[in-house]
Structure 1
Amino acid sequence: MKKLIFKILKIALPLLLGFFLIYYSYNQFTDLERDKIYSYLLDADYTWIVLSVILAFLSHLSRAWRWNYMLETLGASPKFITNIMAIGAGYAMNLIIPRSGEISRAAIVNRSDQVPMDKAIGTIIAERVLDLIVLLIITAVAILTAGDAIINFFKAHLNSAFAKAEPLKILLYSGIFIVLVFLIIFISRRIQLFNRLKSFILGVKEGFVTIWTMKKKWWYFFHTLFIWVMYVLMFYVSTFAIPGIGNIPLSALLCAFVAGSFAVAFTNGGFGAYPYFIAQVLLIFGISEPLGTSFGWILWLSQTLLVLVYGSLSLLLLSVKGSLSGK
């Protein structure tokens, strides 16, 4: 029963968060601001968006190629097209159930090349952690280049908030925050989160040992770099789709990119959170919220459409392939 409740919450909570952010974002705009958002969406130059989709798809192809370098260390070498379909199916599954795509990818190569599930998942965890390290490096660069703008923004808002806040309310909210922290720690211990984290770290360690001992590790790192260059370029070229976004400084571009990347982790494929987070970050750099929201939605819709088409085709082809091999 507990496992069922946990699974339901795992699906429902990110969706509810996404719906809440959409509702909150929509209702904070005036009718005039909503009209501006619609006009930005209609008048955008979608040639740049098509180019961004192509760049994103190249990153997916590179990811499929990179995966084989690690699978080869396990004595398997699935066909490139198999990896492409596995990754496409994984992305599609992540839109429905967060983090389920990794299991789908492992199951596909397990069925096609008899790669053990646990080892296949280990390769995926290792590449995810390596990608996270790259994202954290980009995050550090973004914060360093935009430090003054971020500090001044939060300083102004905190000063404004504390000027209006009552001491009693501050104490009350602080007390609630402390209670919540203790509850989270208590619940985490009850569900043995720390044991799971220990197991995860050991798996990651084993995965990284595999990366450094594989024959083509430098090609693996090259594809990792290529994937993230494509991600950033995809984001960059999209800025030219809407007038007023294309001339933002590099620091704003990187901060918005990082915000969007982390937003994907909070909800199903960034549903609701992606455009909201991007708009809030761009606001720090003087981009109006309607303009930032429009930009965020164009990016999210185009990339989600790519995942839906790519994922659906992958699932269809895998189904056909399974039917043919079953005959």
Structure 2
Amino acid sequence: MKILFSLSLGLLIIWAMYRNTDVRELWRIIKSANIGVIASSLIFGLIGNYIRGLRWELFVNSLGYHPPRASLVYSTLGNYAVNFVLPRAGDIWRCGVVSRYDKIPFAKTLETFLVDKMLDIIAGLIIIFVSIVLYIDFFASYLHDNAELTDSLTGFFSSVWMYVGLAVLLVAILLMCTVFRKTTFVEKIYKFFGTLKYDMMLISKMKEKKRIIIYTILVWFCFYLYFYICFFAFDFTKDLGPLAGLIVFAMTNIGISVPVQGGIGPWHFVVISSLLILGVTEKEALAFAGAVFIIQSVWQILYGLFGVLAMPYVKRENSSNLNQEIK
């Protein structure tokens, strides 16, 4: 039901945007694009995720585990193929498959993944903030032209149900800390957070902090090129400039955060609405979003499937992993 609901939501958004579009005109615009330019951008998507795997390796190593680098890279690539089946399931799959094949406790792979993910969230927020500072007029126009988004946010924070939910959550936490403190379930939670605190201290003391920062910058620079190079494939976007590319790229990070398979629907919405504000016509914006999303999604699925299928064949030294666990 979750798969069907999220996929249906994404497809509904796409239908709403494309329902009145002349398909033949859309195809004409797409055929006029330089597909070779879009194809050249694909390498940066792969490089970005490869570096993301290298960064995760630093966190895993900091806890005393040293799985093969290929295992961490392949699982990172496979993450995105699995996400196309079930939103965010790839994140859990990535931790689980490394735990299974490399004999690392799942809690350890999950902890390091969460730290790795937090870095990407912070980097994404920084990109959005920088974009707002550099081009405040764009975001003012975006909110003005998409008033329903502002109304939705206002309605969410003014809803009585949000505050009821927060009150229930606080009461539940209070009961867990007092009345149910000695139950097995709550003790396991305390034990998990105790272990998490200890592991976070180990990660905070790691010596490769500069490499982590460099890897994070490289990851997001690659993803930016992955998207921006596609501007040069179309006559109506090639002259918009790198700043415009940064702004639309920042908006895609908002769209991809919606829990829908591969960002289907929300990604299209933010790209199309952003290009409209930048002066691109509606048909051209629809063609750009449709062509780029399909090509890049197929690419992610292909290298993701390679990562999934390659995981069992990574050369591993079981004795080394066993020694790490004993240590």
TM-score exceeds 0.5:
yes
Distance 1:237 1:182, change over 3 A: same
Is 1:261 equivalent to 2:250 in the alignment? Answer: no
Distance 1:206 1:58, change over 3 A: farther
User: What residue number does 2:272 align with?
Assistant: 279
Listed one character per residue, the Cα deviations across residues 246-296 of structure 1 (whole Å, up to 9, x for unaligned) are 111444222211221221221211112212210101111111122122222
Identity of aligned residues (%): 24
Q: Distance in 2 between matches of 1:51 and 1:250?
A: 17
Corresponding residue of 1:5:
none
- Give the superposition deviation at 1:209: 4.5
Structure 2 residue 287 is matched with structure 1 residue 309: no
Residue 83, structure 1, aligned to residue 75, structure 2: no
Instruction: Report the CA distance shift for 1:276/1:154 in structure 2 as closer, same or farther (over 3 A).
Output: closer
Q: 1:224 aligns with which of 216, 228, 253?
A: 216
Q: CA deviation at 1:203?
A: 9.4
1:31-85 C-alpha deviation (Å, 9 max, x unpaired): 3xx4332112222111111111101101111111111111111111121211122
Q: Which protein, 1 or 2, shows the higher relative CO under an 8 Å CA cutoff with sep ≥ 6? A: 2
In the other structure, the counterpart of 2:85 is 96
| TM-superposition CA deviations, 1:152-182 (whole Å, max 9, x none) | 4545776xx9xxxxxxxxxxx99x9479822
Residues 49 and 117 of structure 1, relative CA distance in 2, 3 Å threshold: same
Name 1:244's counterpart in structure 2.
Answer: 236
Does the Cα contact within 8 Å between 1:125 and 1:204 map onto a contact in 2? no
- Alpha-carbon distance between aligned partners in 1 of 2:135 and 2:86, rounded to the nearest angstrom: 34
Q: What secondary structure sits across from 1:102 in the alignment?
A: helix
Q: Please, which of 308, 311, 314 is the counterpart of residue 318 of structure 1?
A: 311
Whether contact under 8 Å (1:129, 1:204) holds in the other structure is no
Aligned counterpart, 1:299: 292
What TM-score results when the alignment is normalised by the length of structure 1? 0.80
Normalized against structure 2, the TM-score is what?
0.80
Change (3 A) 1:117 1:250: same
Picking from 227, 230, 245, the partner of 1:235 is 227
Q: 1:210 to 1:194 in 2, by over 3 A?
A: farther
Q: 1:70–1:210: 8 Å Cα contact kept in structure 2? A: no
The one-letter code of the counterpart of 2:84 is L
Q: Deviations over 1:197-240 (max 9, x none)?
A: xx999999777644431121211111111000001111111111
2:38 corresponds to which letter in structure 1?
I
Question: CA distance change for structure 1 residues 194 and 227 in 2, over 3 Å: closer, same or farther?
Answer: farther
Aligned counterpart, 2:33 = 44
1:16-165 equivalences under 5 Å are 16-29=8-21, 31=22, 34-152=23-141, 154-155=143-144
Q: Is the 8 A contact 1:276 1:293 kept in 2?
A: no
Q: CA separation of 1:83/1:154 partners in 2, compared to 1, >3 Å: closer, same or farther?
A: closer
What stretches of structure 1 of length at least 5 have no aligned partner?
1-7, 162-172
Unaligned runs of 5+ in 2: 174-188, 319-327
On the 8 A contact 1:73/1:210 being kept in 2, the answer is: yes
Could you tell which deviates more after superposition, 294-303 or 221-230?
A: 294-303
Contact 1:76 1:113 in 2 (8 A): no
Q: Which range moved further: 145-154 or 271-280?
A: 145-154
Taking the aligned partners of 1:202 and 1:28, their CA distance within structure 2 comes to 56
TM-aligned CA deviation for residue 319 of structure 1: 4.5
Q: What SS is found at the alignment partner of 2:67?
A: coil
Given that 2:228 and 2:242 are in contact with CA atoms closer than 8 Å, whether structure 1 keeps it comes out as no
Paired residues, what number? 295
Q: Which amino acid aligns with 1:42?
A: K
Contact 2:156 2:162 (8 Å CA) reproduced: no
**CA distance in structure 1 between the aligned counterparts of 2:171 and 2:6, rounded to whole angstroms:** 20
In structure 1, the partner of 2:283 is 290
Tell me if 1:183 matches 2:161.
yes
Counterpart-to-counterpart distance in 1, 2:74 and 2:171? 33
What is residue 270 of structure 1 aligned with on the other side?
A: 263
